[in-house]
Chains A and B, each alone.
Chain A
């Protein structure tokens, strides 16, 4: 009896699906025979790192493959219809009615040329589910449920006129507009700040529950999925690693790989103090052009040989601080004192030695390296610029640096495109080290990387600091990374320094208002975490 009931409730049944993508003139497998079952009203978390195939699988659940991809075998049964065999016309009738999609970046997924309300009701209107006036009223009702400000008027705005969190909620309202049976959420909160993420997660969860909609929730963040999903399916290299109920998966993950997904959370640097100060920023203010002040009278001290983590959300002024220190954006007020000497504000007024001693590593190694230069040229450039070691003689030094970042000699003649993301970031570290700096500013250096790769990079940075006594300013929005690497922490918010202190001081109460909000917004593995946060 029970089995027949389950059969009836089975909404989506993906059997042994394989998908290939075309690149470099050949077809590569992306999904290699994955099964996935979803029952009515259930939320399934799909988790894995970049390249695991989770987005491809999520889109496949709608019967959609991106251009340059194709189904090779298997079936996708949705409500008794095999989506792999339906014509485009038939699938179009399902999309936007029974099947909806919520994309990762709401800012990019909304058409900049149309008002929000028209985009919200577009699919229902084009499928003639109802007349325009009724749909608009329903949309306003959904905006209310999603707790958007001014639900009656917000629809008249264009995408660029509302914030990222509001857009993401509008997109969920758009997906709900046709009252679908299944919604695919593709990393809906990844692009948001943690404090914004909490609200979006809460509204998504309540609306899905309220309307008894089934959902596939795709993310790389285990703590997020723990709040949202009834069951979790872990993917890697296009295969299923394991599937289990959420509570069970968190309590006792079976596979090694699943355990490694929270690798960074396991590094805990022991905090060390230092009396000497290498860099101090005194009453610095800065602005872009004649715009408003992006930094307002900030004070930060960096102890020699230690790591100061600057943490804050987008727009808090973290990166601007880095630009001010390096002289790329000369401060309008204040002093920057480096090794007991006031640094000239402007980059052009600084000596070569000043420049050499402060180096930067950027978030995206893809865009911070010249794609036509080999590793030898990339690392060799600062060697010749700062130390006058010419091209013929620099090989030994380049190899030594490669050795320091734990890459072997074979990398020396490779181009950036022949390296993985983690390897690229290591080359960027080597390039910074080549100048033999005293201080390295790391701007979100691990944000674009997978958990395991992040762990490797952080361990390398810690090792280098231990060996070379370099000081770091580590800019990040990720609290787990701060815990892993910092000695001291600076919390920034809207161009102000909220507080600076040792890691222990910052992470233990009492907190200033904003630090409290920031810390409480970081998702935890506990599936009840979101409930607790909302109660407070």
Chain B
């Protein structure tokens, strides 16, 4: 039996674990979504509903089947890439004529929103990650200096403020008093690329401000943590300059925790930015999910939650891979 390289075997293990956790996540999503109070059918049909119409509508949506059957149906089609059809895409007046229903598929609803969310996340990441690494490394290099304190204090300030507040302050200064950027980021699928960037500047800036603090402080802490290592003292006694000591000797050993915190923040940028989306009227997945919860549109809520879960698991997997490939002890076993 040929032996797998430890990276491959670790990766396979992680992917396996990811699939298992994804399975449990689907269980949690399904049961919690179905525990939501209220009923789609009754709220849509409103006061005019009759027992008969409720029954027919239920049957058409598949809500008449028991929970476990619905779960298995949803799961099997989700595995095949079909997230089902929305409830609210249909017109309630068709409820009595099921044959003519024009339900939209969840995927078609989700796709453009998802693209918007990824676009904003990528734009933020491109600014925030290099910025926080740079700030973290320089803060570690000049630790306890005025520079370090200033960077730390301002990072802490931005992280302590609620994100909508940061957003409104940016709007006041960059959209209202000085009209540099628009305060509304209502992009559509036909918006040209550069205009899209221009429209997304303020939400991206807001998200940068709220995520930089985390990543920068973790970078700084991971590096400083290593500075008391004997090999750092050795490097200094070899006459290596302080900057080189940090970049060549401390940073390569600090990637694992830094990659983890970056993955964590990227996940946040995709799954947790609904407040910022609402402030800037940015059509992302967060808004879609909140709207669907209000409308009790179960398939859409489930679809969004599933996408979020996959994002989390994938990003953490990538962080794990980075931890392995930056550690020669794991990459080149004895």
Contact = CB atoms under 8 A, between A and B. Distances in A.
Contacts of B229: 108
Given A158-B328, A158-B332, A111 B231 contact: yes
Given A112-B253, A113-B252, A158-B329, A123 B231 contact: no
B234 A95 contact: no
Interface stretch (A97-105, A309-317, A355-363): A97-105
Contact of A112 (B234, B237, B328, B334): B328
A420 interface: no
Contacts of B327: 112-113
Nearest to A113: B252
Interface string A327-345: 0000000000000000000
B235 interface: yes
A93 B239 contact: yes
A517 interface: no
B238 A96 contact: yes
Interface in B233-269: 233-241, 244, 248-249, 252-253
B233 A66 contact: yes
Interface of A: 59, 62, 64, 66-67, 91-97, 100-101, 103-105, 108-114, 122-123, 126-127, 157-158, 160-161, 174
Chain B interface residue bracket vs A: 20 to 34
Contacts of A111: 231, 234-235, 249, 252-253
B249 A101 contact: no
Given A103-B230, A108-B231, A161-B334, A113 B238 contact: no
B326 interface: yes
Contacts of B239: 91-97, 123, 126-127
B253 A113 contact: yes
A113 B326 contact: yes
A160 B329 contact: yes
Contacts of A104: 230
A172 to B, nearest CB: 13
Contacts of A93: 239
Contacts, number: 81
B231 A110 contact: yes
Contact of B328 (A64, A105, A113, A127): A113
Interface centre among B229, B236, B239, B240, by most chain A C-beta atoms within 10 angstroms, is B239
A354 B83 CA distance: 62
11 contacts: A62-B237, A64-B237, A67-B228, A91-B239, A94-B239, A110-B234, A111-B231, A111-B235, A113-B252, A158-B328, A174-B238
Nearest to B230: A108
Contact of B329 (A109, A112, A126): A112
Given A108-B231, A109-B230, A126 B240 contact: yes
Given A66-B233, A108-B230, A126-B244, A160 B328 contact: yes
Nearest to A115: B328
A105 B230 contact: yes
A109 B231 contact: yes
A59 B237 CA distance: 9
A95 B237 CA distance: 6
A236 B230 CA distance: 24
Contacts of A105: 230
Contacts of B249: 111, 113
Contacts of B329: 112, 158, 160
Contacts of B326: 113
A95 B236 CA distance: 8
B241 A92 contact: yes
Contacts of A64: 236-237
